[in-house]
Structure 1
């Protein structure tokens, strides 16, 4: 690999970067790239993919000189970091500490001490949420220090809650999800019960946990408010139309409406959207009919206007229309998708229309468009995975291989690998790379496939047609 291709593979979390380090006779040429990736958040979306810290530590081990990088990583972790970078760094430090590094363990303790010393006055301004970061440090210390790490954290948080019961230094569900998973519900509950009458701090913690567990979910609280009307939605949409990312800001109001709306009310909303003159407002009113939410419903009127909107120069309206059309299987939608892709390319978002309306003849068009893309946009990576997980095609492998190498999202790459398996098999070379992928489920999937008796060593020599 060149330094550039190694950097691209490492940033994308591909196992090929670690394979390269394992096979390279001299890894010093990759030092700058590897250190730079450790000190920056390289995840595409850490909330869906998870941290790439464990992956990067595997890369450090593969380099043969992990100690070369440790001091710089420690120093960076002790500074103020965004959440994604902090999770990445703390995972690397945990691995160093678990392998016996006292310096890395001391760094995690120093970070804990910093958060505890703030006595609840934690920074909560995106992208830095120090309460969550404190939780993350404790999570690693649970494995390094054992039950004593939990006892110390419970006392420290309890003291904060004694002074301010509404303080969010401790986040709902953390104990149930993490501490009880590590030590078991019985042991954790026994400690809290035993110390409830002995420690005012533990009592404050237990009482707060109970109040919060008995509380109403934010979405449920929203749903209990007065019923939102179509006129309300229109007013809100018109107020948001000129703002940045209006669709995201509209989500809460749309949820409140769609959750309680009858079929006739949804039909009335569809009519209101079709009669709205402002294109951005129309796009916002179409949001409940798209497939991007769990509470959406199919568009209840004739889809012809939506097909017209899909050509709109207003990107938000075109995308909303396509979201709505994704729910339908219809020859007209297939033809629309092909026309949009031919004229506007992958930026038209029309690839999503083929998830339900795919034909094998579409492979040539898709391959041509994918082959021209140096970097695969996230929505394209997602759509390619869905199309070929749903539809088998022996001709899809070159498309999937190109998307596998050029896509940025490790979560979506997992489905690309699954689609390869469905469409004729994953080349053994790719499977071996996947054993080191940054995404846990991809690694596990590769292990299962390699163990299967149907996979033979001659897969190494598979002749895979490449995209030009």
Structure 2
């Protein structure tokens, strides 16, 4: 395998990269590519995906030369001025895995890093930049998960600093503190702090304890009562009244889900003749949930005269109709032809949904031609992949095999790749080879899902 190809697969968190290393006679030939992915942020969106420490550490172990990578990671982390917060988090997490495996050098380095941060704080040298502050919080969180003494040391030292500088707002440790209290229990956490001066704990509490924090919210066990289904007259009263647009949209949705065919037809006729554009859009929303009950040809006459917002809803309504399928694809293709120039992403998503809802075997080639021949940037391509995957999950068909396999092989986001695999399963076109790769994917949910399906097939 070319080194550039391997680096891309590893950067994308693909299971095929680890399978290649397992079978490679000289995995250290790819050491530079592994080191790069360990010391840089290669995720499409780490906020959604999380770091890839476990996956990358597995790649390191497959080389049999763990010590070489340990030195490189510590050296890179030592000079953190040019690193972003996600890169720091990933490397710290990898070093923790080294620590668990008995590498004393990793444990000593993490402790030195922690002490250096505390010293910077106590001497007023902690840089106020947000990423550096968040890096400090992440270091405290990760180390406290490994060793509770780091929790005590953090509260003691930061509490002391806050006692001396009560107006400091240089850092944030709410997540670190509330997460530890949630996981260990408040009473147990207080016992750990029994030898810390009370004024330090109090200062820490005043700065970072939030009883209304999302981790501590308590939700009622009993489900709320179901909303009453509105009648046609109640819906008309709401649409013509002074309620806000959100209330009108909710009432329309509730009406659509329970209305009989006669009332739906009455609403459709009113919607077609409605002159108020905003009210017409709200009424249109009913037919996203229920098929349009009149001749669908009347919908297409609204396409050219309608606003982008109306056309967006129109495409979602088209998904539900069972006639004029070729006409639906024609209008959807007309909208998709604007990609990527002058394209509204939400409108494109609706057009894709409409096209895929009527797609046949030969239409997969058209969708592939869109992906292969249009010059998308990374974000547009990611959104397009996601919209196609969502559409095929709504309208599963084995004909989706080629397009979903294409998307799977190029998806750089592990979070979305998980849903591509689920879409392939729903379309009954998920091969054993992809499942075997998925067992080594960077996303733990993907691994668990693939192993479960493979076990069922055996």
TM-score (norm 2): 0.70
- Post-superposition shift, 1:75? 0.8
| Alignment match of 2:395 (pick from 391, 394, 406) | 391
Does residue 203 of the first structure (1) align with residue 190 of the second (2)?
no
State the distance in 2 between where 1:328 and 1:168 align: 51
SS state at 1:384 partner: helix
Q: Which has the higher contact order (CA 8 A, sep 6+)?
A: 2
State the distance in 1 between where 2:101 and 2:43 align: 24
Does residue 138 of the first structure (1) align with residue 133 of the second (2)?
no
Residue 421 of structure 2 is matched in structure 1 by 417
State the distance in 1 between where 2:310 and 2:161 align: 50
Judged with a 3 Å threshold, the aligned counterparts in structure 2 of structure 1 residues 118 and 22 are, in CA distance, closer, same or farther, namely same
Does residue 10 of the first structure (1) align with residue 10 of the second (2)?
yes
Does residue 263 of the first structure (1) align with residue 257 of the second (2)?
no
- Post-superposition shift, 1:354? 3.0
Residue 91 of structure 1 is matched in structure 2 by 93
| Alignment match of 2:352 (pick from 354, 368, 383) | 354
Q: What CA RMSD, in Å, does the superposition of the two structures yield over aligned residues? A: 3.5
- Post-superposition shift, 1:266? 8.9
On the 8 A contact 1:360/1:393 being kept in 2, the answer is: no
Residue 462 of structure 1 is matched in structure 2 by none
Residue 147 of structure 1 is matched in structure 2 by 148
On the 8 A contact 2:73/2:91 being kept in 1, the answer is: yes
Aligned pairs for 1:240-255 (under 5 A) are none
Residue 176 of structure 1 is matched in structure 2 by 178
Does residue 381 of the first structure (1) align with residue 375 of the second (2)?
no
Judged with a 3 Å threshold, the aligned counterparts in structure 2 of structure 1 residues 174 and 168 are, in CA distance, closer, same or farther, namely farther
- Post-superposition shift, 1:168? 5.0
SS state at 1:344 partner: coil
Bigger shift: 148-157 or 324-333?
324-333
Bigger shift: 49-58 or 131-140?
131-140
Judged with a 3 Å threshold, the aligned counterparts in structure 2 of structure 1 residues 42 and 165 are, in CA distance, closer, same or farther, namely same
On the 8 A contact 1:325/1:333 being kept in 2, the answer is: no
On the 8 A contact 2:400/2:429 being kept in 1, the answer is: no
State the distance in 2 between where 1:325 and 1:304 align: 8
Residue 344 of structure 1 is matched in structure 2 by 338
SS state at 2:400 partner: helix
Judged with a 3 Å threshold, the aligned counterparts in structure 2 of structure 1 residues 158 and 383 are, in CA distance, closer, same or farther, namely same
State the distance in 1 between where 2:128 and 2:394 align: 42
Residue 158 of structure 1 is matched in structure 2 by 159
- Post-superposition shift, 1:202? 0.7
Aligned pairs for 1:307-318 (under 5 A) are none
TM-score (norm 1): 0.69
Residue 286 of structure 1 is matched in structure 2 by none
Does residue 59 of the first structure (1) align with residue 59 of the second (2)?
yes
State the distance in 2 between where 1:307 and 1:93 align: 57
Aligned pairs for 1:264-283 (under 5 A) are none
Residue 466 of structure 1 is matched in structure 2 by none
Gaps of 5+ in 1: 217-259, 268-296, 312-317, 457-468
Highest Rg: 1 or 2?
2
Residue 223 of structure 2 is matched in structure 1 by none
Judged with a 3 Å threshold, the aligned counterparts in structure 2 of structure 1 residues 5 and 55 are, in CA distance, closer, same or farther, namely same
For residues 194-239 of structure 1, the C-alpha deviation after alignment (integer angstroms, 9 at most, x for no partner) is 468x4211111123334x44599xxxxxxxxxxxxxxxxxxxxxxx
Count of residue pairs the alignment pairs up: 368
Residue 220 of structure 1 is matched in structure 2 by none
Does residue 115 of the first structure (1) align with residue 117 of the second (2)?
yes
- Post-superposition shift, 1:402? 1.2
SS state at 2:441 partner: coil
State the distance in 1 between where 2:187 and 2:149 align: 16
On the 8 A contact 1:14/1:434 being kept in 2, the answer is: yes
State the distance in 2 between where 1:333 and 1:122 align: 60
State the distance in 2 between where 1:74 and 1:298 align: 61
Gaps of 5+ in 2: 215-241, 250-278, 285-298, 322-326
